[in-house]
Amino acid sequence: MTLTLAILATALLFGGMVLYSFGFAAFVFSALPGPVASAALRQAFPHFYLFVIGSATLAALFLVWHDQTGAALLALIAVTTVPARQILMPAINTATDTGAKGRFKALHGFSVAVTLAHIVLAGIVLARFA
């Protein structure tokens, strides 16, 4: 039963990250004017990060008795999302608010790389179930 829950939680994590990153964010910017889209995403990102932290932690806990490597990868996602939420996201917001375009681009690029790495890691864990 815990293996089934681990698979479902990992699939939820993977799918949620992909949908948010490539679906929701893109949709918001195509459907809303730039400043409104930016404000909406600024409000949504803290919740996204909590979703990643919670679902990765839950999946890791369900998986730990079946696949320690997979559980460790999921725990790594959860742990590295905390500074992304608590440090990186506020720094990106500050760069936006102060008009520091170069700093924004660098920090945003780093946050995209972190999210892509998380998606890849969750995909690796899913592939381990095959």
pLDDT computed for residue 109 by the predictor: 97
DSSP string, 9-45: HHHHHHHHHHIIIIIIHHHHHHHS-HHHHHHHHHHHH
pLDDT computed for residue 9 by the predictor: 98
- Which sign, positive or negative, has the C-alpha torsion 81, 85, 90, 95? positive
49-76 pLDDT, tens digit each: 999 999 999 999 999 999 999 999 999 9
Mean pLDDT of the chain: 96
Alpha-carbon gap, residue 112 to 89, rounded angstroms: 11
pTM comes to: 0.95
Across 5-33, average pLDDT: 96
Q: Judge contact between 10 and 63, C-beta under 8 A.
A: yes
17 confidence band (pLDDT: 50, 70, 90): very high
Q: Judge contact between 77 and 118, C-beta under 8 A.
A: yes
Number of domains in the chain: 1
Alpha-carbon gap, residue 117 to 91, rounded angstroms: 20
pLDDT computed for residue 70 by the predictor: 98
Non-local (6+) Cβ contacts of 37 within 8 A are: 28, 29, 31
Tell me the C-alpha to C-alpha distance, in Å, between residue 109 and each of 37, 59, 85. Answer: 18, 27, 15
Give the domain range for residue 117.
2-128
pLDDT computed for residue 48 by the predictor: 97
Q: Judge contact between 118 and 59, C-beta under 8 A.
A: no
Across 87-97, average pLDDT: 97
90 confidence band (pLDDT: 50, 70, 90): very high
Across 16-21, average pLDDT: 96
